[in-house]
Copies of this chain bind each other. A is one copy, B any other.
Amino acid sequence: MTALKRIEREPLWDLAHTQLQDALLAGRFEPGTVLTLRSLAESFGTSITPVRDAVTRLVAQGVLQQGARNSAIVPHLSRRELEHLTVVRCALEGRAAREAASHRDEASLRRLRDRLTTMQSLIAARKLESYLEHHRKFHFGIYAMSGIPLLVETIENMWLRCGPVLSFVIPEYVVLLKGTDHHTAALKAIMAGDADGAEREIVADITEAAHYLSGLADATGQLRRPPG
């Protein structure tokens, strides 16, 4: 049981998979980009076999879209697809918030409170990068309290599908519209064991963000990154 025994190399495809996921969530891939196996393999410094595994997984998860000739492309998100994503997210995350209110515990609540204050200071400092990271962890901190791993896993999948456009939010939106702070309200409801309130606030948070993103669509319905 020595520490030496624990040095087990992670498979290469796992590394590629997580790196691709992180890149997607961080919005480092522009929608519409075609990912070729050989170019990815070169950038990872491996053969195409591990990256093929990773891409295969992402496609199976619905995170990457498979185009003609089974090529993998970073999906464009249309206004309609965003609507669909919003419906599913509301059903899933609303339910998770509801369960969280029923299964709350002291330690988790304290962590959420801390993260919330961190988020507010990051907003004030206009540090969008870090804010998005903490924002994600705040949401999933709530969902983890539901005690239903399957629910968390499914929600993660939905966030991955939103990945390419998550970074489309600009600081002004976060700063201005958050006068109606659904995050604080949701946490307060959960602390009070108010399942209805928790669901309502999370759903409102998702809906408002979706409404903002919907305004970024061009004439064809495709969501575009705002200038600046």
List the B residue with the shortest CB-CB distance to A149. Answer: B84
Q: Contacts A84-B150, A149-B84, A150-B85 given; indicate if A11 touches B70 (C-beta within 8 A).
A: yes
| Chain B residues whose C-beta falls within 8 Å of the C-beta of A151 in the assembled complex | 84, 87-88
Smallest CB separation, A197 vs chain B (Å)? 18
| Chain B residues whose C-beta falls within 8 Å of the C-beta of A60 in the assembled complex | 56-58, 60-61
User: Is the CB of A95 closer than 8 A to any CB of chain B?
Assistant: yes
| Chain B residues whose C-beta falls within 8 Å of the C-beta of A91 in the assembled complex | 91-92, 94-95
State A85–B150 Cα separation when bound (angstroms).
Answer: 7
State A59–B58 Cα separation when bound (angstroms).
Answer: 11
User: Is the CB of A205 closer than 8 A to any CB of chain B?
Assistant: no
| Residue interface mask A141-165, B partner, CB < 8 A = 1 | 0000000111101100100010000
State A170–B56 Cα separation when bound (angstroms).
Answer: 37
User: Is the CB of A62 closer than 8 A to any CB of chain B?
Assistant: yes
Smallest CB separation, A10 vs chain B (Å)? 11
- Number of A residues whose C-beta is below 8 Å from B? 29
Q: Contacts A61-B61, A91-B92 given; indicate if A84 touches B53 (C-beta within 8 A).
A: no
Within 8 A of B (CB), among A80-127: 81, 84-85, 87-88, 91-92, 94-95, 99
| Residue interface mask A164-176, B partner, CB < 8 A = 1 | 0000000000000
Most buried by B among A57, A60, A70, A161: A60
Smallest CB separation, A42 vs chain B (Å)? 21
Within 8 A of B (CB), among A12-61: 52-53, 56-61
- Contact assessment for B88 and A148 in the assembled complex, using a CB-CB cutoff below 8 Å: yes
State A88–B57 Cα separation when bound (angstroms).
Answer: 22
List 25 A–B pairs whose Cβ atoms lie within 8 Å, in order of A's numbering.
Answer: A11-B70, A52-B53, A56-B57, A56-B60, A58-B60, A60-B60, A60-B61, A61-B61, A81-B150, A84-B148, A84-B150, A84-B151, A85-B150, A87-B99, A87-B151, A88-B92, A88-B148, A88-B154, A91-B91, A91-B94, A91-B95, A92-B92, A150-B161, A154-B154, A154-B157
Interface residues in chain A, defined as those with a beta carbon under 8 Å from any beta carbon in chain B:
11, 52-53, 56-62, 70, 81, 84-85, 87-88, 91-92, 94-95, 99, 148-151, 153-154, 157, 161
